[in-house]
Amino acid sequence: DIQLTQSPSSLSASVGDRVTITCRASQDITRYLNWYQQKPGKAPKLLIHDASHLETGVPSRFSGSGSGTEFTFIISALQPEDTATYYCQQYHDVVLTFGGGTRVELK
């Protein structure tokens, strides 16, 4: 199975800060990489698909980039409602896998 390693596992930032999360794949997954946001007690929500395509209705402060084995997720200016855990997910292989998650908290 393809392993996805997210870093950091958690971070603390202030409102308005730029937040960067990295997702590294154990093998080349081209651009088959998606990002989700999950708030406590809730189902995840799709934010970005295919590495950089923003899902309809998702604020433009969220963005994604990358290809191959290294991917980046950015919140350009953190808002209080962005406190959540973020997961990457690959679909290069039929066995779908997720990264371990990054918890984003407000400082």
Partner 1 sequence: QEQLVQSGGGVVQPGGSLRLSCAASGFIFNIYGMHWVRQAPGKGLEWVALISYDDNYKYYGDSVKGRFTISRDNSRNTVYLQMNSVRPEDTAVYFCAKDSDTGSYPRYFTSWGQGTLVTVSS
Q: State the residues that interact with partner 1 by CB under 8 A.
A: 1, 34, 36, 38, 43-46, 49, 55, 87, 89, 91, 94-101
Read off the tokens for 32: 């088959």
Nearer to partner 1, 16 or 57 (CB): 57
Nearer to partner 1, 76 or 91 (CB): 91
Q: Nearest approach, Cβ of 77 to partner 1 (angstroms)?
A: 26
CA–CA distances in Å: residue 46 to residues 49, 51, 86, 88, 92: 8, 12, 10, 10, 17
State in angstroms the smallest separation of the CB of 99 from partner 1: 8
Distance CA 69, CA 8 (A): 16
